[in-house]
Amino acid sequence: MDPSHKPTYRPPRLFVEANLAAGLEIATDREQARYLLKVLRRQAGAPVLLFNGRDGEWLASVEPLGRADAKLVLKEQTRPQPLNDGPWLVFAVIKRGPMELLAEKATELGAAKLLPIKTSRSQSEKINEGRLYRIVHEAAEQSERLNAPEIATVQTLPELLANWPNDRLLIIGDESGTAPPMLSVLADNPGQPFAFMSGPEGGFAPGELDGLGDLPFVAKVGLGPRVLRAETAAIAGLTLGQAALGDFKASRG
Amino acid sequence: MDPSHKPTYRPPRLFVEANLAAGLEIATDREQARYLLKVLRRQAGAPVLLFNGRDGEWLASVEPLGRADAKLVLKEQTRPQPLNDGPWLVFAVIKRGPMELLAEKATELGAAKLLPIKTSRSQSEKINEGRLYRIVHEAAEQSERLNAPEIATVQTLPELLANWPNDRLLIIGDESGTAPPMLSVLADNPGQPFAFMSGPEGGFAPGELDGLGDLPFVAKVGLGPRVLRAETAAIAGLTLGQAALGDFKASRG
């Protein structure tokens, strides 16, 4: 909730857990109260937009309760709740900094689901789910989404593949240099639900992707002649997927 | 020069300032010696790849000089020097962290030139050129580039436009929601040299882009229905440009 990212001509947007409906009043937590009252210096009656991932976007007014607390009084729905039907991002667990960057950028790019996997080269098998939850919800606030990506529990690649929905294309960034460029592969699959999968730093181990090319829902693609870091490949893959198959074709409402 | 990004089956790659030719010997600086001898534990004769942005890529062998110093003995050229003919990235000066991320990712994505501009909403007009130089050269090492993007001095948008080469498309990420999707614009310009321009946090000020649409080399494009952070727009714009017009169509050598 960095104030420099909130242009003053737009009301601030906050994610809340509470239900949203006309006439309800929402208690702010300490961080939200500090942000509205101290950082943005909002006065009584100032507009704020709220979303909870279920009930759409609501206009509310800030009602300060003393110097460090506030409630939010709901006025009217400003946008209905959309389906969270964007792409999925499957990613090998990597170090904390790049993984948090990946989660933030995937949210901005419209990902509906983040699926961490452990691979033989993963530096860690652990993710801090609380931190990732906070990061994707802050990114949703910033990017004007009305939902945040769901974060799945860590699983292995075989576990992931065993439960894969057959109608969703699984696009794998392949650094071997033999895969066709991503856009040329996607051109054959307009409107297809998709996931992009990025590997660990240093790439998948030899053999780790063997056999995947035989799965009917898998497409291996190239992302140019350079070696991309894991999080860069994830961002580039989601971008190209959204541009070719997803909602980059839509304009802003 | 993070060791986790260097798979053990590839020789490490180092950027050096010195000339590269058969038989020459290169002195390492303290950081390079520490990296080769302490982090990677390379022994005498271990292979290393060197580039200087001028003479291509060279295979060299590590020759330790005591415990904390080493020289590099050049063997043979492994790749010729390519043209640095990739896209340009024009970007409003933003805060240090996101700007350094933008420089790193632009390097991975093949940018030939980084052109910082000051805008009415820029948080700062300063860039730390030394830090950016180091970041783009480390990113070149990681991504197996043989050059790094040139970093121009900060200028205003009118200054930039006054000297713009007419044969290079200037693609502007437009958050107004009225611009057509980037891929649909680029489809009309195959093979075109291009630059992508990203704005400050909060976007360009009202009026700041007025008149730009009349310039023959400018294309305003949309990047989907969400609000992207400045650095995310830059990464997405370079990715789509490289995929449609640039070297994402090439496979890895």
- pLDDT value at B3 more than 80: no
Report in angstroms the alpha-carbon separations of A157 from A229, B1, B86, B113, B130: 20, 29, 35, 39, 42
Report in angstroms the alpha-carbon separations of A241 from A229, B165, B175, B212: 18, 31, 20, 29
Mutate to test the interface with A, among B57, B221, B227, B245 (most CBs of A within 10 A): B227
CB A26 within 8 A of CB A38: no
Q: Which residue has the higher pLDDT, A1 or B100?
A: B100
In total, the C-beta contacts within 8 angstroms joining chain A to chain B are 154
pLDDT of residue B124: 73
Structure tokens at B93: 């000066």
Contacts of A251 in chain B (CB under 8 A): 177-179, 181, 222, 225
Q: How confident is the model at residue B1 (pLDDT cuts 50, 70, 90)?
A: very low
Q: Tell me which chain B residue has its CA closest to the CA of residue A184.
A: B249
Q: What are phi and psi of A157, to 5 degrees?
A: -60, -45
CA distance B164 to chain A (A): 27
pLDDT of residue A121: 83
The one-digit pLDDT tens for each residue of chain A (253 residues) are: 444 444 445 799 999 999 999 999 999 999 999 999 999 999 999 999 999 999 999 999 999 998 889 999 999 999 999 999 999 999 999 999 999 999 999 999 999 999 999 998 876 778 999 999 999 999 999 999 999 999 999 999 999 999 999 999 999 998 877 899 999 988 767 678 999 999 998 888 888 888 888 899 999 999 999 999 999 999 999 999 999 999 998 654 4
Record the pTM: 0.91
* Burial of residue A96 (number of CB atoms within 10 Å: 0-12, 13-18, 19+): middle
- pLDDT value at B7 more than 60: no
- pLDDT value at B185 more than 60: yes
CB A36 within 8 A of CB A70: yes
pLDDT of residue B90: 98
Closest Cβ opposite residue B253 in set A5, A225, A243: A225
Q: How confident is the model at residue B6 (pLDDT cuts 50, 70, 90)?
A: very low
C-alpha B161/C-alpha B208 separation (Å) is: 13
Closest Cβ opposite residue A224 in set B182, B236, B242: B242
pLDDT of residue A6: 41
C-alpha A181/C-alpha A105 separation (Å) is: 22
Mutate to test the interface with A, among B109, B175, B184, B248 (most CBs of A within 10 A): B248
Closest Cβ opposite residue A226 in set B145, B203, B243: B145
C-alpha B103/C-alpha A175 separation (Å) is: 22
pLDDT of residue A7: 44
Which residues, 6+ apart, have CB-to-CB distance to B36 below 8 Å? Answer: B12, B28, B42, B46, B48, B62, B70
* Burial of residue A195 (number of CB atoms within 10 Å: 0-12, 13-18, 19+): buried
Block residue for tokens 């056999």: A211
Contacts of B140 in chain A (CB under 8 A): none
Are residues A4 and B222, on separate chains, in Cβ contact within 8 Å?
no
Are residues B251 and A183, on separate chains, in Cβ contact within 8 Å?
no
Q: What are phi and psi of A241, to 5 degrees?
A: -65, -45
Could you tell me whether strands A25-27 and A70-79 are parallel, antiparallel, or unpaired per DSSP bridges? antiparallel
Block residue for tokens 């291996």: A220
DSSP secondary structure letters along A24-46: -EEE--HHHHHIIIIIS---TT-
pLDDT in tens, A10-46: 799 999 999 999 999 999 999 999 999 999 999 999 9
- pLDDT value at B64 more than 70: yes
> What is the ipTM score, two decimals?
0.91
Chain center to CA of B198: 15
- pLDDT value at B211 more than 60: yes
pLDDT of residue A99: 96
Task: Using alpha carbons, select from B211, B143, B4, B227 the residue that is nearest to residue A175.
Answer: B143
CA distance B17 to chain A (A): 22
Are residues A252 and B110, on separate chains, in Cβ contact within 8 Å?
no
pLDDT of residue B134: 96
Contacts of A182 in chain B (CB under 8 A): 243, 248
Domains and CATH numbers, chain A: 3-79 (2.40.240.20), 88-249 (3.40.1280.10)
Are residues A226 and B123, on separate chains, in Cβ contact within 8 Å?
no
Q: Tell me which chain A residue has its CA closest to the CA of residue B183.
A: A243
